[in-house]
Amino acid sequence: MDSSNKEHNAGYIQIPQIFYCYATQKPFEECLVCKKKLLESDTPYVIEKAIKKYPTYTAKDVVSEYAICLACNAEMQNSLSEYSKELINTYFNQRVDLMSRRHKMLKEHGPDIDAWLTNCLIYQTPVTDISEYQIYAYCEGSYLVFSAMPFMISGRAIEEIAEQLSPETKEVLDDFIDEHFGLPPELKELLKNRKLIHL
Ligand SMILES: [Zn+2]
């Protein structure tokens, strides 16, 4: 679909600010892994952000954030163990029907991005009651596409998944953090302990 059609399709919006790169305050420009340019053409990719809120004041801290093209995402998923892939799929399938959710959300809220991110996908907990969470969006070029994503998932659900992952998968995820996040070791450890999961 070309850009002019997307403007008139309820399932697409220009990437909203909440999914901008925190550092630049602009849309992500390239894939974290292969550095492919994302905003040109209709390149499909996923944006993932982990956020921590501090209860005593209103500041929010973006713990990690990246955009990854679907090709690199698929490669990453393939490197997870069969056991872990199955576990992640089962966890979601037993708790949420992403396609019915999409239908319901579009019908009730249209492209209101806040509505899509207001409650934990798994537990329905409101974001105002959650101190740590992750948000995900599926995008094509400079557009966010309302599909199985966007969604918000609470730290509680993330921990449940992370706790069950195989040691091999944890290693793959840790290597991913080591390789792609230019962070000092103490921050990497923090990120690993925060149990970043990769969907
Ligand atoms: Zn890539």
* Three-state SS annotation for 19-57: HCECCCCECCCECCCCCCECCCCCCEEEEEEEEEECCCC
Element (H, E) at 14: strand 12-14
The pLDDT-based confidence of 187 (bands split at 50, 70, 90) is: low
**Distance (Å) from CA 38 to ligand 1 centroid:** 9
**Distance (Å) from CA 22 to ligand 1 centroid:** 20
**Distance (Å) from CA 126 to ligand 1 centroid:** 32
Provide, rounded to the nearest whole percent, the portion of the chain with pLDDT above 70: 83
- List, as ranges, residues with CB under 5 A of the ion ligand 1: 31, 33-34, 36, 69, 72
**Distance (Å) from CA 67 to ligand 1 centroid:** 9
Q: What is the mean pLDDT of the chain?
A: 85
pLDDT at residue 1 greater than cutoff 60: no
pLDDT in tens, 68-109: 999 998 888 888 888 888 888 899 999 999 999 999 999 999
- Please name every residue paired with 61 in a beta bridge, in sequence order, or none if there are none: 52
**Distance (Å) from CA 158 to ligand 1 centroid:** 24
**CA-to-CA distance for 100 and 112, rounded, in angstroms?**
17
